[in-house]
Structure 1
Amino acid sequence: MTFKDACLGLFVMFIWGINFSVIKLGVSQADPLLMTAIRFTLATMPLIFFVRKPDVAWRYLVSYGVLFGVGVWGMASWSITAGLSAGMTSVLLQTNVIFGLFIGYLVFRDRFTIHKVIGALFAFTGLALSLMATDGTITIKGVALVMISALSWSLVSTLVKKSGTRQPFAFSIWGMAFAPLPLLLFALSLNGTDIITTTINSWNGYTTFSVLFQAYPTTVFGYWVWNRMLVKYPLSTVAPVNLMVSVFGLLGGYLFYGEHVGALQVISAAMILAGVLIILLKPGNTFLAARLAQWRVRKVSDQKV
C-alpha cells in the first residue's frame, strides 16, 4: 500500500471512529431509527441520479438496503440509546468478523483453520469480559442490539459477494436507497406516529450536524475510499486497517463524553481486536512466518553445500 493511500485510509478510519460519538450526539435528541433513515436519504439523494445502476438483480439491492440500513446502522444507533457507550459500540461491532467465519463455513464452505479458531477464542473471551463491566459503558440490551448489527454486517458482506458486483460504489449507493423506508416503518411500528412529531420538536443544530456528518463524510466519502482500496489492494492488506476504527471510537467517546475507559474495557477491547487481527491475517503473511520460511530456506541451502 502506498503512503498516500495508507494516510487516506487512516483518515477514513478516524472519521468512522468518531462517527460513533457523532451518532450519540444525534440520538440523544432524536429517534435513532428515524435519524438513520434521514442519513441514508441524504446519502443517496440526489447522488443516485448521477450513478448508473449496477448490473445486478434488484433483490440484491433491496436486501442490501434493509440489512445495511436497519440491520447494521439502525441497530448500532439504537444500541447507543440503549446505554452502550459510543466507544464500546465501535469495538463490539468488530465481532462481525466472527460471525463472518460461521457464515463463510455455511455458505461458501470455507475451512476453519487453527489461526481462525484461536482468533475466535480471543474475541469471544473479550466479549465475555466486556459483559462484566458495571461502570455504565455496557448494557445487556445495548450488547444484544450491537450483536444484531455485527451479524447484519457479516450478512451484508456475504450478500455483496453473492451478487458478484464489480461496481461496489454504485452497488452501495443504489442499495442504500432502499434503507429509509424500512427504517421509517420500523420506527412507526415501535413508537407510533407520535415519534415523528416528537423528533421534529426535539430537532436542533446538533441533530442536523450529526445527520450531515453521517451522510456525507462517513457514508459517501468513507465508503467511496474504502471500496476503492478494496479494489486496489488485497483484502488481507486492507481489512486490518479497519481495526483503527475501534481505537478512534474509544478515544472519541473518552474525549467528547468522558466515557470511562477502565482496565476491564482496555483488556476486553484488546482481546477482541487481537482476535479479529489473528483471523484476518493469513499465517503466511505474518512477519514470524516469513522469517521462519527464510530460515528454512537457508538451512536447506547450507545442508546442500
Structure 2
Amino acid sequence: MKPADILIAVTVAVIWGLAFVASRIALDELSPSLMTALRFAIAAAPCLFVRRPDVSWPLLIAISLTLFLGQFLSQAYGIANGVPVGLSSVIVQGQAPLTIALAAIVFGERPTPMQAIGIGISVAGILMICGTVGYDFSIGAFAVLLISPVSFAIGNLLLRRAQAVPMFDLFAWLCLTAAIPLFALALVTDGPQPTFLALLHMSLATLVCMLGLGGISTAIAYWLWGRLLRDYPAAQVVPFALLVPFVGSAASSIVFGERFGPLRLAGMLTVIGGIAIMVLSKRFQPVPEIA
C-alpha cells in the first residue's frame, strides 16, 4: 500500500475506535434503534446533492443491511445492554479474519505466509485483550453483539461488487437505505411519542456525539474505507481495523475509567506488531487458477 493510503487506514481505525465511546454516551439517552437510525440519517444528508450511484437496488440494499444496519444495530444493542465498550470494540474486529476467510472462498484470494503470520499474531493479541475485560453482561446481549462482525465481513465483500462508482455517493445512499427501516423499527419498538420526545430533549453532549458518529465516523470514514477496499485486496486493508480495539479501549479507559493491566497492554502491542508484519510483507497473492 502507498504510504498515504496506510495513513488513511490508520486514521479510519482511530475514528472508529473513538466512535465506540461516542455511542456509549449517546445510548444513555437514545434507544439502540433510534441512535443507529439517527446516525445514518445524518450520514445520508449528501443524498440531497448527489444522485444514486449506478448500483442495482438489490446490491445497494444488501450492502446497507449488512455493512451498516446489521453491524451497527447489533453493536448498539450490545453496548446498551451492558457489554463494556472495550470488549465491544474487540469483538467487532472479529470481522478481520472472517473477511479474509470469506475472500479466500469467494474471490480465491489468500494471504502470503508472512501476512498469515501477521494475522495470527494480531488475532492472538485480540484474544489477550478479551481475557482482560469483565464479562458483566447477559448472554443474550453478547449473542446479539456477535452478529456485528459477521455482518461487517459480509458487507466488506459485497462492497467490492460495487465497481467504478463514486464511493462518497454510494455510502450516502447506503446510509439512507439503512436509516429508513431503522426509524420504522424505532417507531414500532419505542413508540412514536417516546421517539419524538427523545429527539426533542436530546442533550448537547448527545447531539455532538451523533454529529460525530454520523458525519465523521460513518460518512467520511466509511467513504475512505470503501476506497481502500476498492483499490486493494481485502487482506491488505482489513487488518488495519485491528487497531480499533486499541483506540477504543484506550479511549474507554480515559472517559469511563475502564482499566487494563499488563496482559491487556501486551495484547494491544501484539495487535500492532501483527499489523506491522502484514503491512511490511509482500502483496497479497491470488490463488493460481486451475485449468
TM interval, shorter chain, is 0.7 to 0.9
Distance 2:77 2:187 in 1: 14
Task: Give the AA of the match of 1:167.
Answer: P
Structure 1 residues 225 and 158 mapped into 2: Cα distance closer, same or farther (>3 Å)?
closer
Residue 49 of structure 1 and its aligned partner are, at CA, apart by 2.8
The aligned residue for residue 78 of structure 1 is 77
The aligned residue for residue 244 of structure 2 is 245
Residue 139 of structure 1 and its aligned partner are, at CA, apart by 5.7
Q: Which runs of 5+ in 2 are unaligned?
A: 285-291
Task: Give the AA of the match of 2:41.
Answer: T
Residue 172 of structure 1 and its aligned partner are, at CA, apart by 1.4
Query: Is 1:37–1:69's contact at 8 Å kept on the other side of the alignment?
Result: no
5 Å matches for 1:140-219? Answer: 140-193=139-192, 195-196=194-195, 199-200=198-199, 203-219=202-218
Q: Which moved more, 1:23-32 or 1:165-174?
A: 165-174
Query: Is 1:236–1:282's contact at 8 Å kept on the other side of the alignment?
Result: no
SS at 1:56 equivalent: coil
5 Å matches for 1:258-297? Answer: 258-267=257-266, 284=282
The aligned residue for residue 34 of structure 1 is 34
Distance 2:174 2:4 in 1: 29
The aligned residue for residue 223 of structure 1 is 222
Structure 1 residues 117 and 9 mapped into 2: Cα distance closer, same or farther (>3 Å)?
closer
Distance 1:106 1:233 in 2: 17
Highest Rg: 1 or 2?
Answer: 1
The aligned residue for residue 44 of structure 1 is 44
Residue 273 of structure 1 and its aligned partner are, at CA, apart by 6.3
Query: Is 1:236–1:281's contact at 8 Å kept on the other side of the alignment?
Result: no
Query: Is 1:29–1:202's contact at 8 Å kept on the other side of the alignment?
Result: no
What is the TM-score of this pair, normalised by structure 1? 0.75
Query: Is 1:97–1:276's contact at 8 Å kept on the other side of the alignment?
Result: no
Residue 40 of structure 1 and its aligned partner are, at CA, apart by 0.8
SS at 1:259 equivalent: coil
Task: Give the AA of the match of 1:284.
Answer: K
Q: Which runs of 5+ in 1 are unaligned?
A: 287-305
Residue 209 of structure 1 and its aligned partner are, at CA, apart by 1.1
Q: What RMSD over aligned residues (CA atoms) do the two structures have, in Å?
A: 3.6
Distance 1:194 1:100 in 2: 40
Identical amino acids, percent of aligned pairs = 25
5 Å matches for 1:49-128? Answer: 49-110=48-109
User: Which structure has the highest helix share of the two?
Assistant: 1
Residue 269 of structure 1 and its aligned partner are, at CA, apart by 5.0
The aligned residue for residue 295 of structure 1 is none
Distance 2:240 2:129 in 1: 23
Residue 156 of structure 1 and its aligned partner are, at CA, apart by 0.6
- 1:180-236 alpha-carbon deviations (Å, 9 max, x no partner): 122233344544556525634762222211111111122222233334455566766
The aligned residue for residue 289 of structure 2 is none
The count of aligned residue pairs is 284
Task: Give the AA of the match of 1:31.
Answer: S
Structure 1 residues 277 and 71 mapped into 2: Cα distance closer, same or farther (>3 Å)?
farther
The aligned residue for residue 257 of structure 1 is 256
